[in-house]
Structure 1
Amino acid sequence: MKPRPRPTLARRLASGLVALAVLGVVAVVNRPMVAAGSEAFHEFSINRQSYKERYGHWARLPVPPEFRVNAIHAALLNTGKVLIIAGSGNNREAFQAGTFRTILFDPATDTFTDVPTPTDVFCAGHTFLPNGNLLIAGGTKSYEVLETDIKHAAGVLKIKNESPDHGPRFFPKGTRVTSPTGYVYLTRADVTVPAATKMQHGRQWMVHAGQAEVWVDAELAGNAPIVRRPAQYRVADLSGDVYGLADKITREKQEYGGDKTSYEFDPRTERYVRVGDLVKHRWYPTLTELPGGNVLAVSGLDEFGRILPGDNEKYDPATRRWTAAPELKRVFPTYPSLHLMADGRLFYSGSNSGYGSDTVGRTPGIWNVRTNRFSDVAGLRQPQMTETSSSVLLAPAQKQKVMILGGGEVGESPVSTARTDVIDLTQNRPRYRPGPDLPAPARYLSTVLLPDDSVLTTGGSSGYRGGAYQGRARSDLFNAQLYRPTTNRFERLADSTVGRNYHSEAILLPDGRVITMGSDPLYDRTGRNPGTFEQRVEVFSPPYLFRGARPALTSGPASISRGGKAFFGTPSPRRIVGARLMRPSAVTHVTDVDQRSVAASVAAAPGGVTLTVPSGRGLVPSGWYMVFLVDDRGVPSAGRWVKVR
């Protein structure tokens, strides 16, 4: 008996359409079938080859239950694996239990592994170092306490030691502190107060008191121990040289407190390596690499939840130590987006993630980190709408154009914007110019550079943390779009199926796909009950992955010098029209200062192409990059790792 011939693609499509038509007829009689028919037609439509060639395709990544975490941070390592950091994951119970999580995902094998996580790196800062390690600094020392949960008045007490002769003074947790009116407060932690120091000024000797700060809580519950004015306090019944000062002791909300631990995550050993502590505790800081390879840490909340008043610091990878940088004093809101310019200056786009003054430090501008001069830039429309906005250094990086997208008003405002603006930093007097509007107002929008110079924008919500917006209980955005700098417009892509707002990430993978994860909605879909962290992971395949065979990248060096040339093997060299060096992402709170795409010139050669890497540390910071070759159809190869020296 002969085997039955397989039906042709045309016949299979026709059969599918007939089946869908039958479903539609049945649905008229049996209304519950409507949803099934609609879903079936949707699945049929989005899986057609022609649809995927134009709009791309989304697919859920199956994550085993034991590896589902609250993705707060994500970074692509030079091993090709994705580092997913939760820390305590914005979960107070996990924080109190000391349960901190980090997961490694390998896209090549779709496997996950658990990584021991020593402290709560939730809401730390991070950036890649020239050696490929991920520097992670700061995190969470204490969780916020809402006003309704505070039963005992509390405040920050500054303990002064004016004696230079008796050494440091140690006070254990629970030390009694007494106000002028007789109320007693207890220290929340151990604290050591340095001895005073003697300094000679001309012919006079002066004593400078040693000091340290600590939380104190009223022994008596209620409002009676509240003190709203600066006052002096007696510490441990001591008098004279040791005393306490506090601006206020109240039952006001206590913000998250920053940590000062710092690590380098080593992609080879897949372990956190403890390095020197930060000078200042930092929660929500930005870390950005400087042209020489050092790292600058800016902004953040200190251990008492106060915005740091411009106290920035530097990390030296050679010594693995942090040092204060008083010469670079500058105030920013938390998680400011800083983009390294070709000339070594930093551009602050105005994007940030919230905490800080509603006026000071929010104006975008160019920061000369050699002189500490900051030059404001003009032209940004709706400048009050930069909180939870996104910004990206457009490709190729040589053009020095930065785009800001969406954002909202300061605080928990439900108001957001569809505005995008673009600035050309090569101009003598750079200023923002209007860009195309997003399809809808958006906060928390993920922006990912693709190897064809386009920008994928996905996720986000119109309301605060996905909450109510213009009468809708939930405001997550499922649309995705592609921005092309050459046309200065957005192109519609396939809709995602998972909402992404606060605490979400998107990262380009070496194979050209984009992985998306996270989301921390304030409410559930009804808008009435508390939300739960989104642990589903979705992967987007851009349209270029469905347009026929991709150019092969068969060989290449492990490293290359900045300004140098290197040969990369490919079987069809004359079809290669471009090459990109793409720096991997390290993203949190839609802040990604690492991502950049640098154009490398291409010359065809027998069996491959010769790439010339641009010179200039500001344009091509030292470190690991993915090399993508792009053919004459705009289709990129898979990425190949190379270290730029």
Structure 2
Amino acid sequence: MSFFPLLLLPLIFSTTTVSILLSPAEARGGGQWQLLQKNIGIVAMHMQLLHNDQVIIYDRTDFGLSNISLPNGRCRHDPDEKVVKIDCSAHSLEYDAISNTFRPLFIQTDIWCSSGSVSPNGTLIQTGGYRDGERKVRTFNPCPSCDWEEYSNALVVKRWYSTNQILPDGRQIIIGGRRQFNFEFYPKTGASAKNTYSLPFLVQTYEAEGDAENNLYPFVFLNVDGNLFIFANNRAILLDYNNNKVVKTYPAIPGGDPRSYPSTGSAVLLPLRNLQQKLVEAEVIVCGGAPKGSFQKAKKRDFVGALDTCGRIKITDPNPMWTMEKMPGGRVMSDMVLLPNGYVLLINGAASGTAGWEYGRNPVLNPLLYKPDGVIGARFQIQNPSSIPRMYHSTAILLRDGRILVAGSNPHVGYNFQKVVFPTELRLEAFSPWYLKADFNDLRPEVMFPSPQTKVMCRVNLKVVFRVKAVRKSVAVTLLAPSFNTHSFSMNQRLLVLDEVKPTSRNVAAGGYEIEVKLPSLPFLAPPGFYLLFVVHEEVPSQGVWIQLV
């Protein structure tokens, strides 16, 4: 089924097929790279875009001194710290995506390999970490002078390498983690909710490779029926989390190789459309990873080639089956970013090895553009390469203007900048997809209404006014939920395509065009919170406008 065209205007959109393998000359048209900062001071192991266009970035606190100091002589005192007991450097920062500036933030306890999501009111809620941070919850409110707040023992058990998902009621569920075969909720709603809930699926998918387990950072998506699709290792289930009942068991992905950490493929819920139909379809794609046994072999300096396949499955089908397709090359530790026009960008990673200290080789510098509605065998397009390897602990997120912010990479212990294969990476860069080229300025819409920070109710019609120099074929309205990105998985990433309610008309007073779209009728489809609204014209998106679904 086609995922694009998305809607609207009376004219019908027609697609063109792009070859899966492009020559170097053809690839030159595939986006542009820009170096934003030569040194942000910390490794961007975790990133989250907030609704004030600030990006919260952090690494770990037990790594030694970072390259950016805390302000006003502030220091972190930790007598149990093995590397630096008095640390006056920062391990988190707030990056302003508009002004290209940043400020250091203070974190006391270790947030290494943690998880998080944004609450409906826009507060970042970060959960877990390592050692003194493993049961902590930390919050960050978006304001010019705000800093982290930490809450001790807010989690029932240790959470390290777990996954978070926002639920329809605004809570988040926290699933798994290192030797945690259970889940819990945050915030707690009562005495009975203080317990963890056993999840045998995580026991069934547990497969230790020495000191690693191939079911960490499971891929979790809120399905359109309100249940959770959970993929770990090489298998998946549909979980009714309210009753802790598995309602569907999916077939194992063909080939049987693990795809979650440390084999570290990536996954995304493809754009949701036809949201007013009784039965909304949902489809997940899982790409790349490392073959079984790669972690142990990497320890012996044998770096196995990464998987070059993607598995795609319609999770709402009564009898779902995986459809396999080939990427132009193998890829491990890559990120998958939903673009406003419904395409997916695969970025970062390596062609061999696996996740872990010094366990990756052969960086993949070219992003891949994936077109979900294309013909199998013709869905991938190679993009222009970066010059910076992005290996273990790299991150990528979409910004409001349509660029992809890329940072991170510390494939070894410590802030090591020399005598290692891939030095610690503190540069911050942005990838601009083809649609941001000046050649497409005439096609690029400008949203005039809704105004930024508009609060809207679900189950209502929303007027959208935009202007564009040359209206030709298709116009679409999409809503994108920004993600919490770490370890090659973007938690809570979600793109919705809104259906047309009435024909487009000219809004003479505003000097633009007016359409009316119907917002999702159920919080299963769009949990409450902040979303970026885009108008997309012939695959060229406007800048996003922040709206809040309540």
TM tier relative to shorter chain: 0.7 to 0.9
2:285 aligns to what?
A: 403
- Bigger helix share: 1
Alignment map for 1:238-257 (pairs within 5 Å): none
Equivalent position amino acid for 2:425 in 1: E
Contiguous gaps of at least 5 residues in structure 1: 1-44, 143-257, 302-306, 352-361
Q: TM-score, normalised by structure 1?
A: 0.66
Distance 2:115 2:542 in 1: 32
Alignment map for 1:47-66 (pairs within 5 Å): 54-63=29-38, 65=39
Question: Which of 270, 278, 282 is 2:159 aligned to?
Answer: 282
Greater Rg, structure 1 or structure 2? Answer: 1
Distance 1:554 1:585 in 2: 25
Question: Which of 345, 367, 371 is 2:243 aligned to?
Answer: 371
User: 1:367–1:132: structure 2 CA closer, same or farther, 3 Å change rule?
Assistant: same
Distance 2:175 2:450 in 1: 37
By relative contact order (CA 8 Å, sep 6+), the higher-ranking structure is 2
1:428 aligns with 2:318: yes
State the Cα distance separating 1:118 from its structure 2 match.
Answer: 2.7
Equivalent position amino acid for 2:217 in 1: Y
1:257-280 Cα distance to aligned partner (Å, 9 max, x none): x62111221113532233461111
State the Cα distance separating 1:590 from its structure 2 match.
Answer: 1.1
Distance 1:329 1:391 in 2: 22
Question: Which of 459, 464, 469 is 1:563 aligned to?
Answer: 459
Question: Which of 424, 429, 440 is 1:548 aligned to?
Answer: 440
1:533 aligns to what?
A: 424
1:64-83 Cα distance to aligned partner (Å, 9 max, x none): x4x32111100011111111
Distance 1:484 1:139 in 2: 35
Alignment map for 1:262-301 (pairs within 5 Å): 262-268=137-143, 270-275=146-151, 277-301=154-178
Distance 1:432 1:531 in 2: 36
Alignment map for 1:138-537 (pairs within 5 Å): 138-141=128-131, 259-268=134-143, 270-275=146-151, 277-301=154-178, 307-308=179-180, 310-316=181-187, 323-326=194-197, 330-331=201-202, 333-350=215-232, 363-374=235-246, 375-378=248-251, 380-386=253-259, 387-396=263-272, 399-408=281-290, 409-410=292-293, 411-413=295-297, 414-415=303-304, 416-435=306-325, 437-464=326-353, 474-487=361-374, 488=376, 489-522=379-412, 529=420, 531-537=422-428
State the Cα distance separating 1:382 from its structure 2 match.
Answer: 2.2
Distance 2:360 2:105 in 1: 37
User: 1:364–1:330: structure 2 CA closer, same or farther, 3 Å change rule?
Assistant: closer
1:624 aligns to what?
A: 530
State the Cα distance separating 1:614 from its structure 2 match.
Answer: 1.6
CA contact (8 A) 1:287 1:297 kept: yes
Distance 1:473 1:288 in 2: 28
CA contact (8 A) 2:335 2:347 kept: yes
Equivalent position amino acid for 1:60 in 2: L
State the Cα distance separating 1:93 from its structure 2 match.
Answer: 6.1
Distance 2:241 2:424 in 1: 38
CA contact (8 A) 1:467 1:474 kept: no
CA contact (8 A) 1:313 1:324 kept: yes
CA contact (8 A) 1:87 1:121 kept: yes
User: 1:337–1:540: structure 2 CA closer, same or farther, 3 Å change rule?
Assistant: same
1:102 aligns with 2:95: no
Deviates most, 598-607 or 94-103 = 94-103
User: 1:326–1:348: structure 2 CA closer, same or farther, 3 Å change rule?
Assistant: closer
CA contact (8 A) 1:316 1:322 kept: no
1:331-370 Cα distance to aligned partner (Å, 9 max, x none): 263211111101111112336xxxxxxxxxx522222213
State the Cα distance separating 1:385 from its structure 2 match.
Answer: 3.0
Distance 1:643 1:321 in 2: 31
Question: Which of 75, 78, 81 is 2:51 aligned to?
Answer: 78
Distance 1:379 1:86 in 2: 33
CA contact (8 A) 1:465 1:520 kept: no
1:117 aligns to what?
A: 107
1:191-214 Cα distance to aligned partner (Å, 9 max, x none): xxxxxxxxxxxxxxxxxxxxxxxx
Question: Which of 491, 497, 521 is 1:599 aligned to?
Answer: 497
CA contact (8 A) 2:365 2:388 kept: yes
CA contact (8 A) 2:163 2:175 kept: yes
CA contact (8 A) 1:278 1:322 kept: no
SS at match of 2:202: coil
SS at match of 1:109: coil
Distance 1:343 1:530 in 2: 46
User: 1:89–1:439: structure 2 CA closer, same or farther, 3 Å change rule?
Assistant: farther
Question: Which of 532, 541, 544 is 1:639 aligned to?
Answer: 544
Distance 2:320 2:54 in 1: 38
Distance 1:611 1:321 in 2: 41
SS at match of 1:544: helix
SS at match of 1:496: coil
1:165 aligns to what?
A: none
Distance 2:355 2:523 in 1: 39
Distance 2:518 2:257 in 1: 42
Same amino acid, percent of matched pairs: 27
Distance 1:329 1:385 in 2: 18
Distance 1:519 1:612 in 2: 41
Deviates most, 572-581 or 80-89 = 572-581
CA contact (8 A) 2:125 2:138 kept: yes
2:73 aligns to what?
A: none
Contiguous gaps of at least 5 residues in structure 2: 1-22, 65-80, 204-214, 274-279, 298-302
1:27 aligns to what?
A: none
1:476-502 Cα distance to aligned partner (Å, 9 max, x none): 111211000010410111112111121
User: 1:541–1:473: structure 2 CA closer, same or farther, 3 Å change rule?
Assistant: closer
Distance 1:419 1:587 in 2: 22
SS at match of 1:475: strand
User: 1:428–1:321: structure 2 CA closer, same or farther, 3 Å change rule?
Assistant: closer
What is the CA RMSD across the aligned residues, in angstroms? 3.2
Distance 2:82 2:266 in 1: 31
SS at match of 2:436: helix
